[in-house]
Amino acid sequence: MRKLTVDIEKCSNNYCARCTDESLNGIVVVTNKSLELIKSDISDAIKFHVEGCVKDGDALPEWLVRNDYTIVFKYNVKDKIMPANHINARLQPLQ
């Protein structure tokens, strides 16, 4: 299973998560005041981005279109948010 790395850092009043993996054919960024919510937000945003790319006819790797990947969160060390962990972001295949 492939992995998408998401960088999370603390901004002034909230958290920022971004995924810059070349497979995405773009960059996905979200912000939220809650660390737990930002994890689900970035997962949803990646899925939304992939769906849009597919609808636009963009070429994406099949594993990405099938949602066959894991999101690995990489936390900004200087902010000492928490130790790195990951979630499984297996989502339903696109119809």
- Say if residue 22's pLDDT is above 90: yes
CA distance 75 to 55: 32
At 15 the pLDDT is 92
At 87 the pLDDT is 45
- pTM of structure: 0.79
> How much of the chain is in helix, strand and coil states, percent to nearest 5?
35, 30, 35
Between 84 and 67, name the one with better pLDDT.
67
- Say if residue 53's pLDDT is above 90: yes
At residue 52 the predicted structure's pLDDT band, cuts being 50, 70 and 90, is: very high
Report strand pairing: 28-32 vs 69-75. Answer: unpaired
- Say if residue 85's pLDDT is above 50: no
